[in-house]
Structure formats: C-alpha cells, structure tokens
Amino acid sequence: MAKDFYATLDVSRNATGKEIRSAYRKLARKLHPDVNPGDAASEARFKEVNAAYDVLSDSDKRKKYDVYGDNWEHGEEIERARAHRGRGGLYNAGGSPGGQFRTYTFEGDPSELFGDTGADLFGGLFGGRRGRPRQRNLNIEQPVQVSLEEAHAGTARTILMNAMDDGASARRLEVKIPAGVQTGSRVRVAGEGLSEGGRKGDLLLVVDVLPHERFERKGDDLYADIEVPLSSAVLGGEVTVQAIGRKVALKVPPLTQNGRTIRLGGLGMPKLGSDQKGDLYVRVKVRLPEKLGDKEQKLFEELKAAGI
C-alpha cells in the first residue's frame, strides 16, 4: 500500500520545514533502534520515518511529491515525456495518498506511443528506451545523530551491517564523520551498499545534528546569549565567553546597549571540507542588580535626577 509521507510524520500537508524537522526528531528519538533493541516493528517504523523525512525535508523533492505522489522520482521524466509528445500522455501521475491525481489525454495516433525513434512515453518514464530495464538502487541510507560538539570536532560511528543478499556476512564498520557536517549532510562509504550483477552500491550516513542548549546554528555561524553586568555595559569591561571547546575573553565597549550583537571571528563551526570556520555571534543581555544597598540606591537616584 502506498505511504502518505505527511501522515508518516504526523504533520499537515501545509507544515513548515521547521514543523517537519521537529516532528521527525521527535519520532526518531522515540523509534531509534538503540532505544528499542530487538523491536522489529519500531525498526520498520523508524525506516519509514526516515524515508518520509528524506523527501519532505528537501524542498525540490517535496514539490515533486506533492504533485506525483509515490512517483515523485519520475516527475522530470513525466514532464519531459509530455513536452516531447506535445499532447500529454495516458499516465496517472498521482496514484498514492501523497500526490494529486492528474490524467493526461493523448489525442494522436496510439501507435506513436511506441514509436521506434527517440524514447517512447513509457521508456522515458521508467529509465530509457523500450525494453531497457531500470537499474535497482543499490545504495543504503542509515540515519545517524550527532551532537553539535561532535559536528564541530568531527567524530566516528560504528555501523553494524546486516548480512547481505549476496551472501556477505554481518560486519561492523568504523565510519569517520568529518567536522562541519550539518543536518542533511551525507557521509558516503563507497562499496558498502547492496550488490547486484557485479555492481555495488554505497552506504550513506544521513546526519542529524541535535539541537544545543546554548548555541543556535545558522549555516557555519553560531549564536549565543552572554550576560554582561550593568556596570560593564555602561563603563566597558571584560567578560568570559564560552565557545565550543574553549573560553575566550570578550572586551565589552562602554555604553553597550542591551541586545547588541558582537562578532567573534573564527569561533563558529568548521566549514565542511575547508580549513576555515564560521563566526560566533554573542547577543548582550545586560544583567541588572537584584538588590541595592543604601549607597547604590542613592547613586541610582542621582543618575535618575541627572536624566540618565
């Protein structure tokens, strides 16, 4: 039975990317095989959730899915076939709860559908000219979650590969995940997928970087709040900022306003495949005193009288 990816993630068809990402993370944590060891039903559901997220988290794939449903992978081929014929075709491009049903009516000679010149309609839809079989996708996708610290420094995961249909026994793979990966990054391990007819697919680790309690990530840059005492905000001073893996001293200029953002160059995330790094942006949160003595009370009253 065809699967409705929106129902799989329990989101509406109008869900935003943020809502889809949030629903996926909630389900992935609940259904992950490490949380449910030996539970075949949870593992199967986990795979369905990842398949749905892979499509709906990608704007281009999602657009095709909204139109063509389970046949979204053939969307461009369908459109090319329509353009090639100029009249449409006898093909229902929906066919599942995930897509809209569209019927194209062919008005010419039916024999033209199976002409010898060029790719016929069905050949164009399913991978080439008449009689050419569509090759099986031999890649294996495996979701993997990493912390922001692991994405910053790079890490590794041990992947247990089940016995393959080509007779290969189960084995463990140590896979390095490079610094700078983001949610949606794919780490390719060549030749570790399925095998068929002398061909070998790849293992693709699909990365999900978990949210962090202190830092917000935007691309290769990080954002965080930093508390600054009122006296330092007014007169200037120095505060300690906790970056990932290190602490740095930040000089606060005099008369720094609450909410001001200060850039700390090179303290963000590594740029994938590069020696460069993004930046860390700290937002100033001026910390007001919680209690005043008589002296401090008098000083603030004098400031108030002076219009400050």
Boundaries of domain holding 182: 140-209
**Exposed/middle/buried for residue 134 (C-beta within 10 Å: 0-12, 13-18, 19+):** exposed
> 21 and 78 in one domain?
yes
Report if residue 216 sits inside a domain.
no
At residue 72, the pLDDT reads 77
Which residues make Cβ contacts (< 8 Å) with residue 116, sequence separation at least 6? Answer: none
Residue 282, domain CATH: 2.60.260.20
> 247 and 186 in one domain?
no
User: At 243, is the pLDDT very low, low, confident or very high (cuts 50, 70, 90)?
Assistant: very high
Q: In the predicted model, is pLDDT for residue 207 greater than 50?
A: yes
> 48 and 111 in one domain?
yes
* Mean pLDDT of all residues in 98-112: 36
Other C-beta atoms within 10 Å of 231: how many? 12
Cα–Cα dist 27/80, whole Å: 37
Residue 31, domain CATH: 1.10.287.110
Report if residue 135 sits inside a domain.
no
Domain count of the chain? 3
230, two tokens: 């009122």
> 116 and 20 in one domain?
yes
pTM over 0.75: no
pLDDT in tens, 62-75: 988 888 787 778 77
Cα–Cα dist 206/188, whole Å: 9
Task: Specify the amino acid at residue 140.
Answer: I
At residue 99, the pLDDT reads 40
Question: DSSP 3-state assignment of 15?
Answer: coil
Report if residue 306 sits inside a domain.
no
* Mean pLDDT of all residues in 210-216: 90
Please name which of 287, 252, 250 lies closest in space to residue 265, comparing C-alpha atoms: 250
> 201 and 166 in one domain?
yes
At residue 198, the pLDDT reads 81
User: At 136, is the pLDDT very low, low, confident or very high (cuts 50, 70, 90)?
Assistant: low
Greater confidence (193 vs 165) lies with 193
Report if residue 59 sits inside a domain.
yes
> 87 and 19 in one domain?
yes
* Mean pLDDT of all residues in 2-30: 87
> 113 and 43 in one domain?
yes
Greater confidence (32 vs 136) lies with 32
At residue 83, the pLDDT reads 58
Q: In the predicted model, is pLDDT for residue 279 greater than 80?
A: yes
Range name among 36-40, 86-90, 219-223, 291-295 with the lowest pLDDT average: 86-90
Q: In the predicted model, is pLDDT for residue 84 greater than 90?
A: no
Q: In the predicted model, is pLDDT for residue 268 greater than 90?
A: yes
Greater confidence (264 vs 110) lies with 264
Under 8 Å between Cβ of 205 and 182: no
At residue 120, the pLDDT reads 39
Q: What is the mean pLDDT of the chain?
A: 78
* Mean pLDDT of all residues in 87-116: 36
Q: In the predicted model, is pLDDT for residue 297 greater than 60?
A: yes
* Mean pLDDT of all residues in 110-124: 38
Q: In the predicted model, is pLDDT for residue 287 greater than 70?
A: yes
> 17 and 80 in one domain?
yes
